[in-house]
């Protein structure tokens, strides 16, 4: 059986990947390639009753620390501000996003907090706020500021440069007679901090490795066995579903029309996870496959780790100017 990550988890992946990328950049249904990135080394507190509150994985050791994240954010903002000033404009930074109030792995194995389940059913409360995870700015940008800060907004996804080398080889829009970086001052700062050359490992490699490990774990007999146990527990409560990652869809509980039924099923879902010890068992399988990938990709991860140390050193140099 091959399962995929649900859309809510895809959102979590973006938020968690942003723990590194935002520091450098301004990133159920059958589990697919949308696995959450490894948690920051000092993750924000999880929801008090979440069964994943203390969950950690082997790849987490490569995650960014909160202190490094703040350092890289400050360096990125300094570079963006300097660039905007060269174009005669003021940089309007975004304010730090408020903590989501849930842990980095909440909803990784479906609904896992009895308190959230009793209030929201199968809905991830983060999905209720369209601006969640998007830090607001102190004020709205003017059209000129938007152009210089973000550059060419008409680039197709395949055209967006992923390294500073590639970006500098492209022509950007013009403002007041001067060329703007193709990705704007912000995008330029992102690449200067995060990925200056093509030989640098993209930080999303951590997410990709976690996804690969998860997909391998899906076929493990241990996962099939624990899902069967959880399914029998749910059936005893009158809910016929094969997996906590597909329960909401299988039970026809998508949307708000049947919130009462969704809450009842979600509460039973969490109870069955506790009864079958689904989360510690499933996460142990995922961890096994992560360890195998770490051993196979040791050279890549060591290079990533070395580059991250260089990244933070360059960020300190930017701030000391």
Distance CA 225, CA 218 (A): 11
Q: Residue 263: inside a domain, yes or no?
A: yes
Q: Residue 18: inside a domain, yes or no?
A: yes
Q: Residue 96: inside a domain, yes or no?
A: yes
How much is the pLDDT for 135?
60
Give the containing element (helix H, strand E) for 175: strand 174-175
Give the three-state DSSP class for 194: helix
Q: Output the pTM of the full model.
A: 0.76
CA neighbor of 126 nearest in space, from 46, 198, 54, 203: 46
- Cβ-count burial of 23 within 10 angstroms (0-12 exposed, 13-18 middle, 19+ buried)? buried
Distance CA 227, CA 301 (A): 32
CA neighbor of 273 nearest in space, from 311, 243, 309, 307: 243
Alpha helical stretches, state H, 182-297:
184-194, 205-218, 221-236, 247-250, 259-276, 278-296
- Residues of the chain where predicted confidence (pLDDT) is lower than 70: 1-48, 95-102, 129-136, 138, 256-257
Distances (CA, A) of 88 to 84, 141, 148: 6, 14, 10
What dihedral do alpha carbons 282, 298, 38, 195 form, nearest 10°?
-150
Residue with tokens 């697919």: 32
Q: Residue 111: inside a domain, yes or no?
A: no
Q: Residue 110: inside a domain, yes or no?
A: no
CA neighbor of 234 nearest in space, from 319, 122, 120: 122
Q: Residue 1: inside a domain, yes or no?
A: no
Domain containing 136 equals 7-45+55-105+117-320
Q: Residue 133: inside a domain, yes or no?
A: yes
How much is the pLDDT for 141?
87
Residue with tokens 């080889």: 169
Inter-axis angle of helices 205-218 and 278-296, to 10 degrees? 120
Distance CA 130, CA 121 (A): 19
Distance CA 111, CA 93 (A): 35
Q: How many domains does the chain have?
A: 1
- Give residue 24's Cα distance to chain centre: 14
Distance CA 167, CA 180 (A): 11
How much is the pLDDT for 171?
94
Q: Residue 124: inside a domain, yes or no?
A: yes
Name 110's bridge partners: 107, 108
């Amino acid at each position: 059986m091959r399962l995929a990550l649900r859309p809510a988890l895809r959102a979590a992946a973006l938020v968690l990947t942003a723990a590194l990328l935002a520091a450098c950049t301004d990133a159920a249904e059958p589990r697919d390639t949308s696995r959450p990135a490894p948690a920051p080394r000092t993750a924000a507190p999880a929801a008090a009753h979440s069964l994943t509150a203390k969950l950690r994985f082997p790849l987490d050791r490569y995650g960014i620390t909160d202190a490094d994240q703040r350092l890289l954010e400050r360096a990125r903002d300094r570079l963006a501000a300097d660039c905007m000033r060269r174009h005669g404009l003021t940089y309007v930074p975004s304010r730090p996003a408020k903590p989501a109030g849930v842990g980095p792995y909440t909803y990784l194995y479906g609904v896992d907090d009895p308190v959230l389940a009793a209030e929201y059913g199968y809905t991830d409360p983060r999905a209720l706020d369209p601006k969640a995870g998007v830090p607001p700015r102190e004020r709205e940008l003017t059209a000129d500021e938007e152009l210089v800060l973000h550059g060419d907004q008409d680039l197709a996804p395949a055209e967006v440069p992923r390294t500073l080398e590639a970006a500098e080889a492209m022509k950007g829009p013009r403002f007041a007679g001067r060329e703007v970086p193709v990705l704007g001052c912000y995008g330029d700062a992102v690449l200067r901090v995060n990925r200056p050359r093509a030989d640098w490992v993209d930080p999303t490699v951590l997410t990709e490795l976690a996804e690969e490990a998860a997909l391998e774990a899906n076929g493990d007999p241990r996962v099939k066995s624990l899902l069967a146990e959880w399914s029998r527990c749910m059936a005893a409560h009158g809910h016929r579903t094969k997996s906590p990652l597909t329960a909401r869809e299988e039970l026809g509980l998508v949307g708000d029309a049947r919130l009462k039924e969704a809450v009842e099923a979600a509460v039973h879902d969490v109870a069955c996870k506790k009864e079958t010890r689904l989360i510690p068992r499933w996460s142990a399988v995922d961890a096994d496959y992560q360890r195998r990938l770490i051993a196979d990709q040791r050279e890549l991860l060591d290079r990533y780790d070395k580059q991250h140390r260089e990244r933070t050193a360059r960020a300190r140099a930017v701030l000391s100017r």
